[in-house]
Amino acid sequence: MKPADVACFKIWFNEYSRNFVLDDREGQKNIDLKIEHTFRVCSLILRIAEGEAADSHETLLAETAALFHDLGRFPQYRQYRTFRDSLSINHGRLGAEVLRQEHVLDHLPEEEQAAILNAVQFHNAFAIPERNSEGQLRLLRMVRDADKLDIWRIFLGFYEGAQAGIPSEAGMGLPDLPTYSDEVLKNIERGHTASMAHLRTLNDFKLMLMSWAYDLNFITSIRLLAEQDYINRLSALLPRDEVLDQTRTSLLLYVRDRLAG
């Protein structure tokens, strides 16, 4: 793969996403959210690649995988009007399908195609599939980290500020109730990420975002998380109680320990 390939892929992405312009304002806001997210994930993955000493070839693959990771979001939203996979379709698998159907990657060596398709298909999987080769695994891990780092940024950008004008799917359409679910908390207490399937309220979503710290793969990503103080900032958006305070402390300690090596 050459730098010119990535430039062509960006042109293709812009044309593809332009097909999903919607008549209604709300729908368009949700589509725009994913376009902006895509390019931010591209920037973040370059920072991770640099921090993890990726060579130029791996960096090109990483940027391409980031560019295409959420391709499935566009047809998903057009058909189902939601970003919740559990209510619609697995957007990772759908994105890989779009790349195949549209023959976007056909001119690349097979190995590169396989690595990119794998990263797109499994970027949103709860657990990483074991059958990955070492190179595929590293690419997939980079995409997963960059994706999380930008979702934290987006969410806080909306919910720390004025609450007006937030795209309906920024919080997965979950109701903003004062409660949170035991099931979500239990997972986090065990040191696991919370599952999307257990989310009932917006607070659950905030907790799940905090729990993603446990799923970061690279020290560069942990540094970026700590730099932005995402755990404390998300925690500040939750109700104040002792249980949640304990959750925040555990996550902060985890991050501190990872940084200390």
Q: Evaluate whether 213 touches 251 at the Cβ level (below 8 Å).
A: yes
The smaller minimum CB distance to Fe ion, of residues 124 and 187, is found at 124
The alpha-carbon radius of gyration of the chain (Å, integer) is: 18
Contact with Fe ion (CB under 5 A) among 30, 124, 201, 221 = 124
247 binds Fe ion (CB under 5 A): no
CB of 65 to Fe ion, least distance (A): 12
Contact with Fe ion (CB under 5 A) among 52, 58, 63, 70 = 70
Half-sphere exposure of residue 248, counting CA atoms within 13 Å on the CB side? 18
CB of 85 to Fe ion, least distance (A): 9
The smaller minimum CB distance to Fe ion, of residues 85 and 238, is found at 85
In terms of Cα–Cα distance, which of 28, 84, 38, 31 is closest to 202?
Answer: 84
The smaller minimum CB distance to Fe ion, of residues 70 and 145, is found at 70
Site string for Fe ion, 27-66 (x = CB under 5 A): ----------------------------------------
**182-221: contacts with Fe ion (CB under 5 A):** none
Compute the CA torsion angle 203, 197, 228, 232 (nearest 10 deg).
40
Sign, CA dihedral 73-151-49-52, equals: negative
Part in contact with Fe ion (CB under 5 A); list of ranges 41-49, 117-125, 192-200, 246-254: 117-125
- Please, which contacts does 231-235 make with residues 24 or more away whose CB atoms are closer than 8 Å? 231/255, 233/156, 233/160, 234/152, 234/155, 234/156, 234/206, 234/209, 234/210, 235/210
The smaller minimum CB distance to Fe ion, of residues 58 and 147, is found at 147
The smaller minimum CB distance to Fe ion, of residues 20 and 180, is found at 20
Residue ranges in contact with Fe ion by CB under 5 A: 70, 124
